[in-house]
């Protein structure tokens, strides 16, 4: 156990923890489920904090100011798995990020990386809710981490601040009411949806429930250098297109985010 901890501390700059495979079950129905190694029993959960500081002006959500975490986390996980296979040649190591069959937030809590907040996000005591998660599933037995001894304050700040009441009492999100979800919808929006984007002022995402969370009052800057290398809090049309391939909005294609940009630009021109 000490060997793998020392290994991860050497090769990964952020917090990590260990939990049983059962913590991420029941598995989500996705193609990646077929990649889970036979006789898997442990999950190495890695935290990818993304908070890069405050910006007086921004028109895009914090997590989209930085390079696509799928690419960044994916590169870290792939490299770690290759190195782990060299250290433990008789064991299997398989990386997952976002499209994981595991219930990622549950794994994060079980691995001692935080607690689940009323907004459904993992809350880390140092990095708050500004975190992504990645996992390495293995058949190597690992001692499970101890869950942290704190909990969500259940203060209700996130639910009160959500402009449309998208956050439900059970921690789920009503996507049709979520501004972040609306910014990611393809095609033509109804007038009410267009108005939500104008009111939110962001061409992608929404940070409101994060910004009001007490866990984020003193959130630490990310230790992931790749997230700090190319922070772009305010984007114009040229930036959107030039950064398209390396940003998280790429999965929707350029039409969706350019539609949102035009909505906000048109709104400003009316003022």
Residues marked as catalytic: 98
Where does residue 248 fall: left (phi above 0), alpha (psi -120 to 50 degrees), or beta otherwise?
alpha
Residue with tokens 């190597």: 140
Q: What angle separates helix 69-87 from helix 2-11, to the nearest 10 degrees?
A: 140
Structure-block tokens of residue 224: 């992931």
Strands (E), the chain: 16-20, 42-49, 93-97, 115-116, 122-123, 131-138
What is residue 129's three-state secondary structure?
coil
Residue 43 per-residue DSSP state:
E
Spatial contact of 129 and 123, defined as CB atoms under 8 Å apart: yes
- DSSP letters for 54-107: --SS-SS-GGGSSS-HHHHHHHHHHHHHHHHHHHSTTS-EEEEESS-SS-HHHH
């Amino acid at each position: 156990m000490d060997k793998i901890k020392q290994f991860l501390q050497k090769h990964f700059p952020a917090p990590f923890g260990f939990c049983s495979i059962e913590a991420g079950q029941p598995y989500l129905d996705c193609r990646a489920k077929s990649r889970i190694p036979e006789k898997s029993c442990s999950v190495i959960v890695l935290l990818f904090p993304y908070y890069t500081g405050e910006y007086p002006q921004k028109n895009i959500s914090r997590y989209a100011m930085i390079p696509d975490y799928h690419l960044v986390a994916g590169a870290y996980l792939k490299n770690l798995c290759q190195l782990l296979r060299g250290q433990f040649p008789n064991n299997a190591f398989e990386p997952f990020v976002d499209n994981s069959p595991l219930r990622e937030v549950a794994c994060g809590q079980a691995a001692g990386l935080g607690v689940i907040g009323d907004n459904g996000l993992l809350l880390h005591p140092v990095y708050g809710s500004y975190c992504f998660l990645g996992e390495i599933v293995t058949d190597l037995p690992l001692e499970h981490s101890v869950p942290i001894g704190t909990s969500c304050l259940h203060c209700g700040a996130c639910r009160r601040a959500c402009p449309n009441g998208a956050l439900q009492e059970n921690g789920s999100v009503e996507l049709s009411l979520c501004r972040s979800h609306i910014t990611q919808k393809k095609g033509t929006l109804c007038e009410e949806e267009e108005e939500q984007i104008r009111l939110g002022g962001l061409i992608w995402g929404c940070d409101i429930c994060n910004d009001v969370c007490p866990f984020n009052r003193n959130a630490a800057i990310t230790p992931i250098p790749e997230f700090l290398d190319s922070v772009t809090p305010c984007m114009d049309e040229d930036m959107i297109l030039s950064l398209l391939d390396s940003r998280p909005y790429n999965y929707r294609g350029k039409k969706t985010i350019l539609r949102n940009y035009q909505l906000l630009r048109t709104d400003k021109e009316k003022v």
